[in-house]
């Protein structure tokens, strides 16, 4: 007997109204994705074609690597008129040639567009084709946009992967059904998923993006793809154009999400329920035990999500169903109904959903609700903290390993930490002193300081 997904697809928030806002927004741009993409594809280089602002963003988000050769840089294009564009193209070619001469280890080069008008005037796709002809057989040269006008911060990964899909080698037509896991995952998480899927007998398994540009997965009519990240709309479209087919599933956050995600793969390959249970049960039980210590801290606490990473709906589902948190508003930059089908069905009925942003109006709603914790971008976190509202930086949730069974408790802890820190400092939820902090032990205070630094 096959495993069956026990989720009512017409339940929860499947048909819930969504507040759509198209006003001013406060989000990072898609350049941010370079931080995790360059760690994943280990022989790729990301050359941002941008301004000094772009260079500052990348450098401060990634930190400066002193001992290692960095795998990202910014070619700064100064202000120039249309007549100067030919020079700018020559300059770009010169920068790329110098880079590739100095760094023969680079096997894949992404030219990443940004939003200054002088960069928009440059045709980076033509530059990529032009330079590819020069480096044919040596380096793949691709381009995508990380511009803040076109992308929010996780969409940078989507644009990057979508640009890579046409490069994937075609699978043999006679090949049997294969599974592709799509979305950047830390290596440790990827290994855990591979172990579970292989233990169920799913051997024909590929990850995209790969760890090396020389190990691109093959693709064809027999490829089925399972999304590991909820922000890959363009990548999914590009994969479909190459013949791959989507496997609907919730996202692998928390014990329930991970189980149903693995179950979707198991169903596809006709894995016996008994085998599925045998492979997943020990991890499920272990992860549930690890979650217990966070449940009491988070149960009943209210949470408000500003739109930022597109992880909001799956994370809200995890926090509500597995930890008992109360969802006030769940905002997302974009709502892809097909990819979110299971997630919406699993959200508690009556949850307020919003798509896009009109930041001042949303701040007003948040202030009226006074939630116990808010998930938002860095730009909103400090003002809200100053008003006594606890915040969690959305970017931290993207940078941390949070997928899968082993990481479920770490994910819960990212939220619980705020409340634990306040309790240790003798503060109430609004940051008001309720007991003399001097009565707290030195050990508690020391721990709290380092936790505070990580928020
Ligand atoms: Fe560069 Fe535009 Fe991002 Fe600013 S928003 S860092 S100018 S790409």
pLDDT at 439: 45
Could you tell me if 366 and 408 are in contact, meaning their C-beta atoms sit under 8 angstroms apart?
no
Could you tell me if 373 and 418 are in contact, meaning their C-beta atoms sit under 8 angstroms apart?
yes
pLDDT digits (tens, 9 = 90+) for 69-91: 688 889 988 766 656 677 888 99
Q: What residue's CA is closest to ligand 1, atom 1?
A: 54
Mean pLDDT of the 113-142 span? 92
Please state the length of the chain: 455
Mean pLDDT of the 101-114 span? 95
Q: Which of 115, 118, 122 to mutate to test the pocket of ligand 1 (most atoms within 8 A of CB)?
A: 115
Chain centroid to CA 440: how far? 37
Backbone angles phi, psi at 140, to 5 degrees: -85, 130
pLDDT band at 143 (very low <50, low <70, confident <90, very high): very high
Angle at 175 between CA 180 and CA 2, to 5 degrees: 60
Cα gap 347→16, rounded to integer Å:
10
Instruction: Write down the residue that tokens 């249309």 correspond to.
Output: 82
Cα gap 344→128, rounded to integer Å:
40
Residue 58 in contact with ligand 1 by CB distance below 6 A = no
pLDDT band at 451 (very low <50, low <70, confident <90, very high): very low
pLDDT at 442: 35
Question: DSSP letters of 412-451?
Answer: HHHHHHHHHHHHHTTB-TTS-B-S-GGGS-HHHHHHHHHH
- Distance separating the N- and C-terminal Cα atoms of the chain: 47
pLDDT digits (tens, 9 = 90+) for 385-401: 999 999 999 988 998 99
Residue 165 in contact with ligand 1 by CB distance below 6 A = no
Angle at 62 between CA 56 and CA 65, to 5 degrees: 100
pLDDT band at 445 (very low <50, low <70, confident <90, very high): very low
Q: What is the pTM of this model?
A: 0.90
Instruction: Please check the confidence at residue 59 and state whether its pLDDT lies above 70.
Output: yes
Residue 347 in contact with ligand 1 by CB distance below 6 A = no
Neighbours of 430 (CB within 10 A): 13
Q: Which of 58, 73, 114, 122 to mutate to test the pocket of ligand 1 (most atoms within 8 A of CB)?
A: 114
Could you tell me if 391 and 385 are in contact, meaning their C-beta atoms sit under 8 angstroms apart?
yes
pLDDT at 101: 95
Cα gap 401→382, rounded to integer Å:
24
Closest CA to 56 of 31, 36, 26, 30: 31
Best-predicted range by mean pLDDT (9-13, 223-227, 385-389): 223-227
pLDDT at 117: 84
Which atom of ligand 1 is found nearest the CA of 50? 1
pLDDT band at 450 (very low <50, low <70, confident <90, very high): very low
Return mean pLDDT, the chain.
89
Angle at 258 between CA 329 and CA 293, to 5 degrees: 70
For residue 151, the CA-to-ligand 1 centroid distance in Å is: 10
Cα gap 402→440, rounded to integer Å:
31
Residues 6+ apart with CB under 8 A from 182: 161, 208, 225, 226, 227, 228, 229, 232, 235, 236, 239
Q: Which of 27, 28, 35, 54 to mutate to test the pocket of ligand 1 (most atoms within 8 A of CB)?
A: 54
H or E element at residue 22: strand 18-22
Could you tell me if 170 and 219 are in contact, meaning their C-beta atoms sit under 8 angstroms apart?
yes
For residue 379, the CA-to-ligand 1 centroid distance in Å is: 15
pLDDT digits (tens, 9 = 90+) for 332-376: 999 999 999 999 999 999 999 999 999 999 999 999 999 999 999
Q: Where are the alpha helices (DSSP H) in 299-433?
A: 312-323, 341-346, 359-369, 378-386, 394-399, 408-424
DSSP secondary structure letter of residue 201: T
Chain centroid to CA 407: how far? 15
Cα gap 443→427, rounded to integer Å:
17
Neighbours of 3 (CB within 10 A): 23
Residue 212: exposure state from Cβ atoms within 10 A (0-12, 13-18, ≥19): middle
Instruction: Please check the confidence at residue 382 and state whether its pLDDT lies above 80.
Output: yes
pLDDT at 378: 85
For residue 105, the CA-to-ligand 1 centroid distance in Å is: 28
């Amino acid at each position: 007997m096959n495993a069956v997904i026990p989720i009512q697809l017409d339940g929860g928030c499947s048909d819930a109204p969504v507040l759509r806002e198209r006003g001013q927004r406060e989000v990072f741009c898609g350049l941010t994705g370079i931080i995790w993409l360059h760690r994943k594809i280990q022989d790729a280089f990301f050359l941002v074609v941008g301004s000094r602002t772009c260079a500052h963003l990348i450098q401060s988000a990634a930190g400066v690597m002193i001992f290692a050769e960095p795998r990202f840089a910014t070619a700064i294009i100064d202000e120039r008129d249309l007549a100067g564009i030919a020079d700018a193209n020559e300059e770009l070619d010169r920068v790329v040639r110098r880079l590739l001469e100095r760094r023969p280890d680079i096997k894949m080069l992404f030219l990443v567009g940004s939003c200054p008008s002088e960069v928009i005037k440059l045709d980076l796709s033509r530059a990529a084709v032009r330079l590819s002809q020069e480096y044919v057989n040596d380096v793949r040269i691709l381009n995508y946009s990380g511009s803040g006008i076109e992308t929010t911060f996780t969409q940078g990964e989507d644009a990057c992967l979508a640009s890579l899909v046409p490069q994937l080698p075609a699978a043999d037509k006679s090949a049997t059904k294969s599974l592709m896991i799509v979305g950047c995952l830390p290596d440790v998480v990827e290994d855990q998923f591979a172990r579970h899927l292989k233990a169920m007998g799913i051997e024909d398994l590929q990850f995209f993006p790969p760890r090396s540009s020389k190990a691109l997965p093959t693709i064809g009519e027999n490829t089925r793809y399972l999304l590991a990240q909820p922000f890959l709309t363009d990548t999914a479209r590009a994969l479909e154009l190459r013949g791959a087919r989507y496997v609907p599933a919730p996202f692998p956050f928390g014990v329930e999400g991970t189980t149903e995600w693995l179950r979707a793969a198991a169903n596809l390959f006709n894995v016996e329920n008994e085998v599925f249970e045998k492979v997943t049960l020990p991890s499920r039980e272990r992860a549930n035990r690890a979650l217990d210590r966070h449940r009491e801290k988070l149960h009943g606490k209210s949470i408000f999500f500003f739109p930022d990473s597109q992880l909001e709906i799956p994370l809200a589902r995890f926090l509500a169903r597995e930890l008992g948190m109360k969802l006030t508003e769940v905002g997302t930059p974009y709502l892809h109904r097909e990819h979110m089908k299971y997630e919406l069905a699993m959200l508690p009925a009556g949850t307020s959903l919003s798509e896009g942003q009109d930041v001042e109006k949303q701040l007003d709603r948040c202030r009226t609700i006074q939630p116990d914790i808010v998930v938002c971008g860095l730009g909103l976190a400090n003002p809200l903290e100053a008003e006594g509202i606890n915040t969690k930086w959305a970017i931290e949730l993207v940078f941390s390993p949070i997928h899968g069974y082993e990481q479920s408790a770490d994910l819960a802890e990212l939220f619980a930490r705020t409340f634990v820190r306040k309790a240790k400092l003798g503060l109430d939820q609004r940051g008001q002193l309720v007991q003399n902090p001097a009565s707290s032990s030195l050990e508690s205070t020391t721990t709290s300081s380092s936790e505070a630094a990580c928020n």
